[in-house]
Chains A and B, each alone.
Chain A
Amino acid sequence: MKAMINSIISKLNTSDIEFADVRITITDYEDIGFENGHLRGYDSAMDSIAIGIRVLMQGCWGFAGARDLSEKSIDTLIKTAKTNAKHGSLFLREKVTFPKLTPSTAEYNFVPEIDPFTMSKEEKLSLLGEIATSIKPQGMIVHSYLSAEFEKQEKYYANTEGSYSHTVVYNTLPIMNVISADSGQIQSRTWPGHMSAGRGGFELLHKHEFLANTERIIKEATDLLKAPVITEDKADIIIGCGHLALQLHESVGHATEADRIFGQEISYAGKTFIKPKMLGNFRYGSELVNIYSDSTDPKGMGYHPMDDEGVPGRRTDVITNGILKNQQTSRHIAHLLGLEPSSNMKASFADDFPLVRMTNFCLAPGKGSLEELICATEHGYLLDFTKTWSIDDNRYNFQFTTEIGYRIDNGKITSIVKEPTYFGITPEFWNACDAICGEEEWDYYSTYHCGKGEPGQVMRLSHGVAPARFKNVNVRVSL
């Protein structure tokens, strides 16, 4: 494969092409789903090969992708990518340019503890079946599902600057959910929440202790049917990791993707309230808030030794002591902003066009345990497990509902509330952060489903977070 990709690059090393890169991905994928205790689907797609060729000609990007590596297909792709760039340049005002990088090479091979593709299928189905059976309809539970998605992706990358990388990674996404119903209303509980993916293999099923938590989600889903809603206008809230990862994702992660500053996502995902002049001086959050993008940490799904336009993996401090310092960038956008590229250009598969994407996007830990933070809260709510998420196209006004809220009185959890909903304005919210738990609570929470771009791509990425407290947040939404 290395010889093939180098051969393609040699065909692109011509004087009319300013820059070009080629990616090839080979992906194995399995999705096993149980519904109400019964196997509903066992789907697999093995050895899915994709290739993408991107060229910069006359200052314009052209791209062609396919799922066919034949010589004929590759020649057609080269021709199509060049034609797309040439014709696209007929509708162009400012040419895409960026400085050259020193060529580099990288090799990375992740080995899971339990390879989901080579382990015994009986063993795999046995544990999944046991979990599915334990959550099947019972009492007020009227519906349940369990799903586990496994993915192995091998990627080859090369560009006309001479950079080359070859990586192999494994990702796994397990989740279970129960729905309870009574008197015309429904409630639901998931485990381990909507950010349950991670770098690794079948061992993640063990890590998340599904069987140890089935009883809990059944009880909580049942109890939620009779639980009250929050009635105050404002309250202090502690946000648990499973949901805080999404709060970080939506209101800081996407907001600091710098392609949005230039409107490259206006047609779909939206723009951002951030302007270039805010860099270095805008107070995004309280002094406690330190946020960074780090594609060098192999524990997260956002790890890579080189991104999809040849930039070596790196850590970038985006917010330091509450002040906005940097952005997630492509080489082109970084050049426009006078920044170093942050190694955030990624595509889901080789036949997708790379975009500015989050990698491992993290809130740095503070001090203390969650238990200590609850003890130090006179009155408030611990919210966790995302139910509804929504944010405006400037990433400024958000509203979230979690599956459950735990009411805190005098430093203790006293009861639960259903569908706790809070809303706010991004910088006001992060400035209301007065506590972040320490390293002992910090971990990665990851998703397969970050949608961006057109044609749409869903990216695998991670967020490192520890529970955090926010003061005086709007928690009342009249409906």
Chain B
Amino acid sequence: MQNILSHLKDTLNQYPDFKYSASLTLWQTDFLRFYRSQTNYNISKESTSLSVNIYKLKKAYSFSIDNPTTEKIDAAIKTALNVIDTLPEDPHFVDVESDPRVATPRTICNNILAIPLEHKTKILSRIAHSVEAHNFELFGTFICNFSSTTLINSNQLLKTGSYSPIYLEIKAVHRESQVTVMETFGGDDFAAFDLDDFEDRLLQKIAYTKNPITDVDAGQYDVILAPRCFAEFVQYLSYGMSAYALDQRSSYFEGKIDSKVFPEIISITDDPMDHELIRRDYNSDGHIYETLKLIDKGFFRSFMCNSYYHHKTGLPKNGNSALCLRIDHGNEALDEMIGQIKKGLYISSLHYMNFINPKETSLTGLTRDGTFLIEDGKITKVVNNLRFTERISRIMENTLVLENRAYTIPFSDNYDRFDIQTVKAPHALVKGFNITSSTRTI
């Protein structure tokens, strides 16, 4: 497909008063979805798409083409030429990305080819058999993606980034009570997947569900947030660390650069160099993706800022977008953390969170896939799913202890082209977590 980009470049270079940026992406997914310990459907999808932004001084026009050909490109450029002079200006546009740095080359394995469907179904059959003995069934997804994007622009950038993430999410659901537990694997190296360990962890969680089911009243509880929960709160918090949010006056961190915002144990980094995370080479503009300290021992250090908002807000450009978040671990073992709680909750996973007010970081959401009561330092009962209404800033302020290890947690980005990202986080002990109602259901 390189001839497509060459043709685009040659055509647009005929217009010296144009600036442009373009990306050509090959995207593939192999998607196995299962329910009740059997296949729901298998999907294979593939697309090649070209996205082009054309700028004439401060006027901008964008188009995208699926399965691009030189003829389609010529037609789209003809439309762009007819339209662009008629458009109003964006006074804040200055230039396209100019970062010349190229990421260190690395070998990318296409996991769609490396993990064939027969292998996936064998793994699932084995785990299904293991949980069957406990009257549980499997629900979930086993996905491999492959994506390769080449970026060019009028500042002579030519960069290619590829990645091939794997996402395995298994929910084990009790046939009668519907009590659910979850285990996941995410990354780009399937050699790191240890089936025995994965199965052991899932069965350990199933063991917790043997306890009776209870309900709890609204109120403030000391909680252990599983790594998935703590990671998700930090993902939401990271919205306020973007120059975009600052520009909208919606950032919690407005006016707080280099201020102490959280306890010393909180350090958050956007770290594409961490080999246990799904790595990124460039942001969508072609800026190299490098390690960026966001919160350092409780101090807020940086807004994530791309080229456009760099020119608009004057903030330093860094090209980060919270795709590789790592939360530093602490010093205590999980058992010790649970042991410190007289009466509280263990929360495995969160569901349907939404900001009430992003500036205040207030939001509501629910627990899901395993909520447990802790009494006298031990997990004693299964609890119905609960609603919380909280401020993430308060959750961070009330974080007393972080576990002495961090886990790689995969998340699916389900609202655009199906994407997978990972966050590394430890368990967290948070005091006074605000439960506002019970769902009365599992």
Contacts and interface: CB of A to CB of B under 8 A. Distances in A.
Interface of A: 38-50, 60-68, 80-81, 83-85, 87-94, 121-122, 125, 129, 142-143, 179, 181, 184-186, 262-264, 266-268, 270-271, 273, 351, 353, 387-394, 396-397, 399, 401, 419, 421, 423, 425, 449, 451, 454-456, 458, 474, 477-479
Given A44-B63, A65-B44, A456-B418, A92 B31 contact: no
B150 to A, nearest CB: 18
Interface of B: 29, 31-49, 59-67, 72, 76, 79, 83, 86-92, 117-118, 121, 124-125, 128, 137, 139-141, 143, 169, 171, 173, 178, 180, 247-250, 351-360, 362-366, 368, 385, 387, 389-391, 412, 414-416, 418, 434, 436-442
Residue with the highest number of chain A CB atoms closer than 10 Å, among B38, B390, B391: B38
A184 B359 contact: yes
B43 A63 contact: yes
Given A91-B121, A266-B173, A388 B41 contact: no
Contacts of B88: 38-39, 125, 129
Main secondary structure of the interface of B (DSSP, over half): strand
Contacts of B86: 121-122, 125
Contacts of A85: 42
Contact of B117 (A40, A88, A129): A88
Contacts of B391: 479
Contact of A477 (B72, B139, B389, B416): B389
Q: Of A48, A67, A270, which is in contact with the most chain B CB atoms at under 10 Å from its CB?
A: A67
Nearest to B385: A392
Contact of A84 (B43, B141, B415): B43
Given A91-B39, A266-B180, A267-B33, 4 more contacts: A39-B59, A48-B66, A60-B39, A351-B47
Contacts of B59: 39
B249 A142 contact: yes
B62 A44 contact: yes
Contacts of A45: 63-66
A388 B90 CA distance: 30
Nearest to B218: A478
B118 A61 contact: no
B441 A267 contact: no
Among B66, B76, B169, the one with the most A-chain Cβ atoms within 10 Å of its Cβ is B66
Nearest to A39: B88
A238 to B, nearest CB: 21
Nearest to A52: B45
A10 to B, nearest CB: 22
A64 B66 CA distance: 17
A350 B354 CA distance: 30
A41 to B, nearest CB: 6
Given A39-B89, A423-B437, A266 B67 contact: no
Contacts of B32: 88
Given A84-B43, A88-B39, A125-B87, A392 B441 contact: yes
Given A48-B66, A88-B121, A399-B364, A67 B60 contact: no
